[in-house]
Amino acid sequence: MSLSQICGGVIGFALVGLVGCTTVEQPTPPPLERIAISDFNSVAGDWEGLVKRSPPTRSRYDDWVHLKIQPDGAFHFEAYRTIGVFRTTGVFTLEDGMLLANSEKGKITAQLYRHAGKNDRVVRAEGTSRDGITYHADLTPSRRR
């Protein structure tokens, strides 16, 4: 093996190492545009996503949630936690183009969005429990069958 082949191999290995260590930036998604909810049919269906808690705790991780909204506003909610599944049901009301639900455990507001220039939909839900903890989730149409 010649000196130029050895040097080329060392330089090539170093470049691969440098490229492998660089971070790849994810493209920023387009901004969300709010869509007023005029009736329950516009959001009826299955939605899912990750719900985040604020303030966060070390003992609790974010939960994967599934929300099924019926055409009459009734909903079924499931949060999948490490200790099991939390389930609840209720009925949304419509006010100012968004969904609202209140119970003895807290309240939920949900608004419909889409990414600018696209037809994908996102339900942005925010909840506040009676003990002051807030929850936030961006839910997309479920891939469940």
Q: Please state, as a whole number, how many other Cβ atoms lie within 10 Å of the Cβ of residue 53.
A: 16
pLDDT recorded at residue 15: 45
pLDDT recorded at residue 113: 96
Pairing assessment for the beta strands 98-103 and 106-115 based on DSSP bridges = antiparallel
Provide the Cα torsion 40, 99, 123, 135; round to 10°.
-150
Which H or E run contains 14?
Answer: helix 3-21
pLDDT recorded at residue 11: 53
Q: Between vectors from CA 67 to CA 66 and to CA 70, what angle results, nearest 5°?
A: 145
pLDDT recorded at residue 23: 66
Reading the chain (145 residues) residue by residue, the pLDDT tens digits are 555 555 445 454 444 444 455 567 777 777 889 999 999 999 999 999 999 988 777 666 688 999 999 999 999 989 887 778 888 899 999 999 999 999 887 899 999 999 887 778 999 999 998 888 899 999 999 986 5
* DSSP single-letter state for residue 40: G
Q: Between vectors from CA 119 to CA 115 and to CA 122, what angle results, nearest 5°?
A: 55
Residue among 101, 99, 145, 102 at smallest CA distance from 123? 99
- Asked whether 108 and 126 are in contact (CB, 8 A), the reply is yes
User: Which residues share a beta bridge with 84?
Assistant: 81
Half-sphere exposure (Cβ direction) of 30: Cα atoms closer than 13 Å: 12
